[in-house]
A and B are shown apart, each in its own frame.
Chain A
Amino acid sequence: MVILLKAIMISGRTLGQGASCEAKMSPEFFKATSFCALSELDYNALGISEGGNVLVKTEFGEVVVSAKKDEGLPAGVIFIPMGPWANAVVGPDTGGCGTPQFKGVEVEVEKTKMAVMDVKELFSDLKRTGGEAS
């Protein structure tokens, strides 16, 4: 059993994410993008229970997402659909070319009892300091 899994995160498109991407405040979008897929090996090694969540951490941030198995993933690679949950752990560096590195992010994963935040909660701590109407 593994307490803390070191893995590489890939974020990207899925059918579910795409079908709800113009409805990002909806439960469909939440369901489609707030999960993390792991290989069967990694899922079992972390001891995640059915319907359980994981905490994914990088130097840039951390996020709680629900966990599921994906037999297409090799061990050590996890997949989070593109969107606000995945981007909570992606760094801002654009490597001098303007594009952040959304795939191949080094992460740490552990199972967690914490709840997955909905999309409003994800951004509720962002203090707005600019632009109010006077």
Chain B
Amino acid sequence: MIIKGGFVYDPTNGVHGEEMDICIEGGKVVEKPRGGDEIDARGMLVMPGGVDAHAHIAGAKVNSGRIMRPEDARRGIEPRTKLLRPSTGYTVPNCYAMGYRYARLGYTCAFEAATPILESRHTHEELEEIPIVDKGALTLFGNNWEVLECVRDGDLDKLAAFVAWGLLASRGYGVKVVNPGGGEAWGFGGNVKGIDDPVPNFGVTPIEIIRNLMKANEILRLPHSAHLHTNNLGKPGNYETTLATLKAVEDISASRNRQVLHVTHMQFSAYGGTGWRDFESKAPEIADYFNRHDQFTMDMGQLIFGSATTMTADAPLEYGNARLLHAKWSNHDIELEESSGVVPLVYGRKMPINAIQWAIGLELALLTKNPWQFIMTTDHPNGGPFVNYPEVISLLMSRAKREEELASLHELASKRSSLPSIEREMDWNDIAIVTRAAPAKILGLPEKGHLGVGADGDVTIYDINPANVDPSKDHKKVKGALAKAKYTIKGGEVVVRDGEIVAVPQGRTYWVEASVPENQAAKVKADLVEKFAKYYSIQMSNYMVQDAYVTHPRVVKAGVI
């Protein structure tokens, strides 16, 4: 097919709003196709398909959220049609709604933020049922007994071999680290207080876990860097933990042309103050650090007012949320590996803390000078559901809209953040970077996020004319156009037309197969044989995710050898 004459934004290839054709054949972008359909994209915005690098879309804790929230399922109900299964849910949509809604937004790739190895079969069962988008999952390692023991023993090569094995066992794509050490302490109801606080019974500190996993990640030359949810997330004053963490890993080099560490949903980790009373934003300090250290990247974790469901492997945080808010609370500890929690809540415009949190996300985005170090997310559904991405984009592009919003919020949003003074407005090039090009690069997906020859034929056409519309003033138009793609094209197939789903292909699941020296793999196996014999509640032979659960794999090779 040829997508004719649209205003193309393809930052990876230096294209900034040029009126040009995009040609797709055999599911890939080509120079010239041999015929095929034509789509008239004149007067419209053309971008690569969106890439969501961090969202909670599949697996045990997402389903926990669904099961405990029938009141959420009752929202957003759409009946079945000849083509579509029924949709339900707002913050915890059913699998079909996930795929349909991403596609309508113009997203063609989404990654599950955290899968525990033991329960990854479940993650993949759900990923398989999310239609259209390509996907993958990041595997949790930060509280795993084998990891903690390797760190304690200083055995980096064995740790790398274990990470490789864990990615295979979970069919995972990368190394996810959440409140390292805290998840293990939570096994007896505790937590870690900072990056130097030793983990009970293991004697290693969170920063040691982070450093070692980062190094193992680089030994294996994985496509993505280690992906970190910081310790002390959500606590007033935690920006110090965030900066201390980053400073403590400045010396580590990336093995590939990418960041060495990605810090996720930074909004929740950019807090000042000593308690809720003097709670304030420290986004400027965080952004300033990133402006001076280009080996780190972050994603936003923007708050959306209204209903949200917090769900994270930071189980002690969720317990704290539940007690503070008198909310219903689900918890799930996973033997030898991780723990997680789910708590529904509502973010209110007049709640001072929420108002400040809302401002912090936007500050981080606007104060980080280089958009390639930044990804727009809401940490769906923790900050809010991903269907609200157009809202976030329109805020990033319009100071006037931000002012309107600020006026409707609790005054502390203006007093305790620098947002009112920020003039910067992102342009389409910036938006294409923070929603497509940067997430693809940061995740290490060379065929995503751009429209150069050889890229996947994933293209979105939005019915908005960059030549006529001023996003700064017409932010309503921006939000409206981005909420319903004129066309979403996935692998060269039209899946959305005029905001409606017209095709439901199955996407592919990325996972990484990393090779390691045989002797290291053998050492890991010996450790695991012992753990399964003594501690796990299942047999080792039943542990790994089988081929049956990943029917459309896209395997990326990596490794030591």
A/B contact in complex, CB under 8 angstroms: no
Interface residues of B (CB under 8 A from A): none
Interface residues of A (CB under 8 A from B): none
